[in-house]
Structure 1
Amino acid sequence: MSRPFPRAVLFDLDGTLLDSAPDLLAAINNARAARGMPPMLLAELRPHVSKGARAMVAAAFPEVDAAERDSWIPSFLDHYQAELGRHCAPFEGVEAMLAALEASGCIWGIVTNKPEYLAAALVPMLGWQDRCAVLIGGDTLAARKPDPLPLLVAAERIGVAPGDCIYVGDDERDIVAARAAGMPSVVALWGYRLSSDDPAAWQGDVMIEQPAQLCEAAAWPACNA
């Protein structure tokens, strides 16, 4: 028998479902302009996006003391909120992948380390508000990825056992969280990575080059249950 689509899939957001780097670049460059600095290039920022706001601010202002940089994060998030949804788009093939999952009866949701208020604002901009079954942000719970808690709570909220749920992400913390939660995992190789990252070392269940490959049920890892 051919393998069916998974019963449920949880996705990381930035670098997995959404190419959010252009929005984030606009925010970073607004922050740099406010300090009299020239714009940063997309290629310079892109590898840092999945590492979070602290990593992006560090990449944009490497000469600034870390403690001072961290104090700038709220201001950076304000700049980002002003640019939210203006330049980003789902990665090519993501909409087809989501449609294939939905046609199979699969439930899908989002577990991201992005602050919940920003993720919640993005979902309707993308037309996903009636399709995404659960949304957990980085500040929704007491812990965030790589802790497994957000994945476990998301599975509970959609009524699916963790072993029947697959997690898809482009960063090592995603795969660590999935393993700790007892979820099979997919490494999204189309996402954001530093040159020093080695996705094979993360030991995800499968590594996928493009979202369109996940339109086929056989591309997904087998569930544990």
Structure 2
Amino acid sequence: MNRPLPASALPRAILFDLDGTLADTAPDLAAAVNLLRTARGLEPTPYSVLRPTASAGARGMIGAAFGLTPADEGYEELRLQWFDNYQNAMAVHSTLFAGVPELLKGIVEAGMSWGIVTNKPARFTDPLVGMIGLHEAGCVVSGDTTPHPKPHPAGLLEAARRLGVAPELCWYVGDDQRDVEAGRAAGMLTVACSWGYCGAVEPATWGADFLLASPVELLELLTSASVPAAVA
């Protein structure tokens, strides 16, 4: 699946999911939901159980910690309280994944743009990107920026519009199956990043154009394109 690219196949912009792709935010997401449990006299849910659900936000965290779905009684109250807990401590332990700063620097040096498309509400996205060093993104599209979150392509198409790049000249990178679905629906090449949270479905089954194990691999893919030799 992963192979050197011809220079003609290189993108003009790279769009990234946020949680589990650029940033390891699961520790703070998990802490926020475990505050709900301890406030109710319950033992914290093990981090190993919560981490794989982090890309699903409140639905994933509350589902893993309390066994509730959005259709269940009591879910909405927990969701609102989880939002408050998270907003109060959203960048205590969250960091960029190893290799991400180098990747973003390399993208810029290669003359490409980069941006963020996340299902995270702007209430959290806007402050968080500055707190963890992503303030140089060319655009930030949150889950409530457009009427439709991923896997709908609306957010990705809005990001391409803001960057002034045709969707077919963009790549989308994410750690969830819906990221690949959204990217394909937007007409973008897709990259599944197995360094992220990934959920219960194996990334190899998502149908992404590339499956990569680290941000460094993505940088290598972008910078190892074969350029035809000049004609004498």
TM over 0.5: same fold? yes
Runs of 4+ residues over 3 Å off in structure 1: 217-221
Deviation at residue 139 of structure 1 after TM alignment: 1.1
- Give the corresponding residue for 2:118: 112
Structure 1 residues 154 and 61, CA, compared in 2 at 3 Å: closer, same or farther?
A: same
Q: Using the TM superposition, name which of 50-59 and 63-72 deviates more.
A: 63-72
Match of 2:62 in 1: 57
Residues 12 and 161 (structure 1 numbering): CA distance in 2 closer, same or farther, change over 3 Å? same
Q: 3-state SS of the aligned residue for 2:7? A: coil
C-alpha separation between the residues in 2 aligned to 1:220 and 1:199? 24
1:199 to 186, 190, 203: 203
Q: In structure 1, the residue corresponding to 2:148 is in which secondary structure? A: coil
Distance 1:60 1:41, change over 3 A: same
Give the conservation status (yes or no) of the 8 Å contact 1:3–1:217.
Answer: no
2:48 match: 43
Q: Which amino acid aligns with 1:96?
A: E
Which residue of structure 2 aligns with residue 127 of structure 1?
133
Paired position in structure 2 for 1:32 = 37
What is the Cα-based RMSD across aligned positions, in Å?
Answer: 2.0
Q: Do the aligned partners of residues 87 and 220 (structure 1) sit closer, same or farther apart at CA in structure 2, a change above 3 Å counting? A: farther
Deviation at 1:127, TM superposition (A): 2.4
Question: Kindly tell me: are residues 161 and 70 of structure 1, through their superposed partners in 2, closer, same or farther at Cα, counting changes over 3 Å?
Answer: same
How far did residue 25 of structure 1 move? 1.4
The answer for unaligned runs of 5 or more in structure 1 is none
Instruction: Give structure 2 stretches of 5+ with no counterpart.
Output: 226-232
- Larger of the two Rg values belongs to structure: 2
1:80 counterpart = 2:86:
yes
**Structure 1 residues 29 and 122: alpha-carbon distance in aligned structure 2, compared to 1, 3 A threshold:** same
Aligned length: 219
Letter in 1 for 2:62: V
Amino acid at match of 2:22: L
Give the TM-score, by structure 1 length.
0.91
CA positional deviation for 1:67: 3.0
Question: Identity percentage over the alignment?
Answer: 44
Check whether the contact 2:118–2:141 (CA below 8 A) recurs between aligned residues: yes
Letter in 2 for 1:69: Y
* TM-score, normalization by structure 2: 0.89
Find the counterpart in structure 2 of residue 209 from structure 1.
Answer: 213
Secondary structure of the corresponding residue to residue 171 of structure 2: strand
